[in-house]
Chains A and B, each alone.
Chain A
Amino acid sequence: MNKTVTTNIGGFIFHIDDIAYEKLSQYLNTIKGYFKQSEGRDEIIGDIEARIAEMFREKTGNTKQVVTLKDVDEVITVMGQPEAFAGESESSGSYTENSSSSAETASSRKRTRRIFRDPDEKVLGGVCSGISAYFNIDPIILRGIFAISFFVFGSGFLLYLILWVIIPKARTTAEKLEMRGESVNVHNIEKTIREEMEELKQRLNNLSGEAKESVRKDGKIRTGIHEVLDFIATIFRMLFKALGKVIGVVFLIAGITLLIVVIASLTGLPGFVSINNHGDEIRLTLNEIMYTFLGSQQLITWATISAALIICIPLLGMIFAGVKLIFGIKTRNRVFGWISAILWTVGLITGIIVAVSVAKDFKITNTQRSNFTISKPNENKILNLEVSNNFKDFEDQSAELGEWMVYVDENEKQLFRLPQLDIEKSSSDSIELEVIRYSRGLSRKDAVSNAEKVNYKFSQNDSTLLFDKYMSLEKNDKWRMQDVKMVLRLPVGQTIYLNEEMRHIIYDIGNVTNTWDSDMVNRRWKMTQNGLACVDCDNLKNIGDEDDEDWAPEAPETPEEPEVIVPPAQPAPPAKQKTEAAVSDSGITREQYDQLSKLNRMYLELKYPDTNLVL
């Protein structure tokens, strides 16, 4: 007893044995595969099917209703194997004399191996066995590699899916044969290239021959030009083929590497490294970084999805293109093209929505100023400015993110950064400290509340003003461009001492000597009518201020001091003018001045032997 299948061949219905049906459909598929490139494919198949139907009709009747395997075998014998007859239409395709070249294409088609998925040897999609057949290796090796790579953030799985999609399945016997054609190895590649070169040479010879001929024969010139074009095209085709493979490999490797990096980042591998003061690595995940902007886990999820779609789809496309170039697959899968285009657009729209909803949170800027009066120190009249490190324990375990430090602990994240302190002249007689907190927010209210939540403290203890080193946000608060700036206003005559640690927070403090912030610490500064002036800079260790010849001190009150006397050779016009003014004022002669500058030079050379003075 056999199961039968009802099938329609050439417009007639046949009952056919299950096994016989399998065989027949395979046979017809093979024929279809062979005539893939022929223009009259459907007609040929139709004719053949009609003939088969006719033969089946002869074989069946009232006494025998079912087409059996034997019938199918007989029909196949009569019709012949496609390998035997398919070549006819191909090689006799041109009426021209050079049938040798068409025979060559037929044989070269048989020679080159094409990549297919192997449906007979498959575990999942037959990708590994197909590739193995292409490179003539044991499929177990590839399977092992893929199995391992499945665990590298699923990258292998993705690659497998991509290959599954792009590599066509070997449906027909012809394709299966092509899949196992002559192996692709160095020897064969060399052989192919040599043959192609040979062919090229042949054509070149034909070309010169025909060029001569075409002079004699009328009307042959057209074919001559045709040959030239053909020849050039062949060269280009060869170059592009080689270039295509190289580009394909580059695409494939770059695509896979980037994809692994992106997937790893998106799935929470700490990929963002920051080095702290001790040289330790502090790692942050993308999720943690996004948290500082987005704040809510929901937004993070959407942002991650959007980023994944926007970045991964082009990368997948790159891998896609790479595989296609390497194996020379020509199939265009429109469905996947559309799906990826749609997904990419969805990702982009999601990204825009997330960006807009986050950007809204930055709409309103709030500046909150508060003024504090600092009581003047009683006895020595010097106000000490010091810094206390309020994040001493976290500093080293925090990652730097621009100006911000991020501390991550379990599920808590905290942002903190250095504030900025400026010192100005006070208009009144008292010492005043203005603390300005900035923040942005969705609304005025939101911005105000964000600014208020910024933690920053300072305290006064008699003659010492103690500043926190860091301003911080509340735990798990998000970044909304919060900032703290302070202005300390000193009345004229007030002296301050900048503690070493103050270098972290002082920012661009104006002073009469234009001393850099970093050089201002560890010194006493007195507020004068013109600004801050250094009180104990005589024993200045570094000469950072003087050897910068671009600018001269703004108000040279004491021109007799060596620092201020600039020798005439120095190419700094404004300084020179000032010196000359000083000369005429003090009423000394030119010779005296020259002598003085010589002495000055000797003095400077003795004082700073290591410095290369430009005099």
Chain B
Amino acid sequence: MATNTENIKAQMRKGVLEYCILSILAQHDAYASDIIAKLKDAKLIVVEGTLYPLLTRLKNDGLLGYRWEESTSGPPRKYYRLTPVGQAFLNEMNTTWEELVHAVNTTTGKK
């Protein structure tokens, strides 16, 4: 039972995570560490490792693009940005999210 609850929580977090990443990038281009910092503030993720596979996948799906930028403190950094496809996807997600929030609020009676 406990594992099931954990599982649902993890699923919920995962669904939201991508939405959040896209939202962060919609504001401005960002380096992985910047994204992580924001996500950590929001307590969405705890470890950085989580992000890399996600970013790679989103990029492969055509939602994200990146450019290299020289760094003073190490290897060149990848700065991610939202592609037009990503922007469209994010818009769709925004609608879905609002619908979801409405649905949850209605059913849980939190309004």
Which positions in A face B, CB cutoff 8 Å? Answer: 10-12, 31, 35, 38-40, 43-44, 47-48, 50-51, 53-58, 77-82, 84-89, 91-93, 99, 103, 107
Contact of B74 with A57 in the complex, beta carbons under 8 Å: yes
B-side contacts of A82, CB under 8 Å: 49
CB pair B56–A47 under 8 Å, yes or no, is yes
Q: Please name all residues of chain A whose beta carbon is closer than 8 Å to the beta carbon of B78 when the two chains form the complex.
A: 47, 50
Please state if A85 and B50 are interface contacts (CB–CB under 8 Å): yes
Question: Contact between A50 and B74 (Cβ–Cβ < 8 Å)?
Answer: yes
A81 contact set on B, CB distance < 8 A: 47, 49
Chain B residues closer than 8 Å to A40, beta-carbon distance = 53, 56-57, 59-60
Chain A neighbourhood of B104, CB < 8 A: none
Query: B54, A88: Cβ atoms under 8 Å?
Result: yes
Near A by CB (< 8 A), chain B positions 26-62 give 32-33, 46-57, 59-60
Known: A48-B49, A81-B47. A12 touches B32 (CB 8 A): no
Whole-angstrom distance between the alpha carbons of A78 and B32 in the complex?
Answer: 13
Q: Does B109 contact A (CB under 8 A)?
A: no
A31 to B52 CA separation, bound complex (whole angstroms): 12
Contact A31 B75 (CB under 8 A): no
Q: By the criterion CB–CB under 8 Å, are A39 and B60 in contact?
A: yes
- B11 and A43 form a contact (CB under 8 A): no
User: Is B73 located at the chain interface by the 8 A CB criterion?
Assistant: yes
> Are A47 and B55 in contact, CB atoms less than 8 angstroms apart?
yes
How far does the Cβ of A27 sit from chain B's closest Cβ, in whole Å? 10
Q: Find chain A residues with CB under 8 A from B52 CB.
A: 44, 47-48, 51
Residues of A within 8 A of B71 (CB): 54
A11, closest chain B residue (CB): B75
A80 touches B32 (CB 8 A): no
Q: Are A92 and B73 in contact (CB under 8 A)?
A: no
> Which residues of B sit under 8 angstroms from A78, Cβ to Cβ?
47-48
Across the interface, which residues of A come within 8 angstroms of B10, CB to CB? 87
Find chain A residues with CB under 8 A from B53 CB.
35, 38, 40, 44, 85-86, 88-89
Please give, as numbers and ranges, the residues of chain B lying within 8 Å of A47 by CB-CB distance: 32, 52, 55-56, 78
Would you list 24 pairs from A and B whose C-beta atoms are within 8 A, ordered by A residue? Answer: A10-B74, A12-B75, A38-B56, A40-B59, A40-B60, A44-B53, A47-B52, A50-B74, A50-B77, A50-B78, A54-B77, A57-B74, A58-B74, A80-B46, A80-B50, A84-B50, A85-B53, A88-B14, A88-B53, A89-B57, A92-B17, A92-B57, A103-B11, A107-B7
- If A40-B60, A44-B56, A92-B14 touch, whether A85 touches B49 (CB-CB below 8 Å) is yes
Across the interface, which residues of A come within 8 angstroms of B55, CB to CB? 47
Known: A38-B57, A54-B74, A92-B57. 6 other contacts (CB 8 A): A38-B53, A40-B57, A50-B74, A51-B52, A78-B48, A82-B49
CB-defined contacts of B60 to chain A, threshold 8 Å: 39-40
| Interface of A, helix, strand, loop or mixed by DSSP | helix
- Measured CB to CB, the closest approach of chain A to B6, in angstroms, equals 11
**B48, B52, B56 — most chain A CB neighbours (10 Å):** B52
Which residues does chain B contribute within 8 Å of A57, judged by CB atoms? 73-74
Contact in complex: B32, A51 (CB < 8 Å) = yes
Q: In the complex the two chains form, what is the Cα distance from A81 to B73 in whole Å?
A: 24
Chain B residue with the shortest CB-CB distance to A107 = B7
Closest chain B CB from A515 CB (angstroms): 93
Please name all residues of chain A whose beta carbon is closer than 8 Å to the beta carbon of B47 when the two chains form the complex. 77-81, 84-85
* Contact A88:B75 (CB < 8 A) given known A51-B48, A81-B47, A99-B11: no
Contact B11 A12 (CB under 8 A): no
- Check B49–A79 contact: CB distance below 8 A: yes
By a CB distance below 8 angstroms, the chain B residues around A87 are: 10
CB distance from A457 to the nearest CB of B (A): 92
A11 contacts which chain B residues (CB < 8 A)? 75
CB distance from A53 to the nearest CB of B (A): 5
Q: CA separation between A204 and B60, bound complex, in Å?
A: 33
Asked whether B75 lies within 8 Å of A89 as measured between CB atoms, the reply is no
Cα-based distance from A437 to B43 in the complex (angstroms): 102
A31 B49 Cβ-Cβ under 8 A? yes
Which of A39, A53, A85 has the most B CB atoms < 10 Å from its CB? A85
Query: Are A88 and B50 in contact, with the CB atoms below 8 A?
Result: yes
CB distance from B5 to the nearest CB of A (A): 13
B12 → A minimal CB distance (Å): 10
**Complex interface: chain A residues within 8 A of B50 (CB):** 80, 84-85, 88
Question: Which chain A residues border B17 with CB–CB below 8 Å?
Answer: 88, 92
Name which of B10, B51, B55 has the most chain A CB atoms within 10 A of its CB.
Answer: B51
Interface string of B51-87 (1 = CB under 8 A from A): 1111111011000000000010111011000000000
Bound complex: CA of A317 vs CA of B10, how far in Å? Answer: 45
What distance in Å separates the Cβ of A18 from its nearest Cβ neighbour in chain B? 23
Given contacts A88-B14, A91-B14, contact A12 B49 (CB under 8 A): no
With the chains together, A91 CA to B10 CA distance in Å? Answer: 10
Q: With A47-B32, A89-B53, A103-B11 known to touch, is A53 a contact of B48 (CB < 8 Å)? A: no
A54 contacts B75, CB within 8 Å? yes
Q: Is the CB of A53 within 8 A of B74?
A: yes
Contact with A along B75-106 (1 / 0, CB 8 A): 10110000000000000000000000000000
Q: Once the chains are docked, how many angstroms separate the CA of A40 from the CA of B58?
A: 11
Alpha-carbon gap, A99 to B14, bound state (A): 11
**For the complex of A and B, 8 pairs with smallest distance between CB atoms:** A80-B47, A54-B74, A89-B53, A85-B50, A40-B56, A85-B49, A80-B49, A57-B74
Q: In the complex, A406→B96 CA distance in Å?
A: 91
In the assembled complex, the Cα of A42 lies from the Cα of B8 at a distance in Å of: 30
In angstroms, how far is the closest chain A Cβ from the Cβ of B75? 5
A384 to B71, CA, bound (A): 117
Cα distance, A43 to B10, chains bound together (Å): 25
Contacts of A39 in B (CB 8 A): 60
Q: Which residues of B contact A103 (CB under 8 A)?
A: 7, 11
Residues of B close to A86: CB separation below 8 A: 53
Complex CA–CA separation, A51 to B10 (angstroms): 25
Judge whether B75 and A92 touch: CB under 8 Å: no
* Most chain A beta-carbon contacts within 10 A, residue among B15, B48, B53: B53
Give the nearest-CB partner of A79 in chain B: B49
User: Is A80 a contact partner of B48 (Cβ separation < 8 A)?
Assistant: yes
Write the chain A residue with the least CB distance to B3.
A107
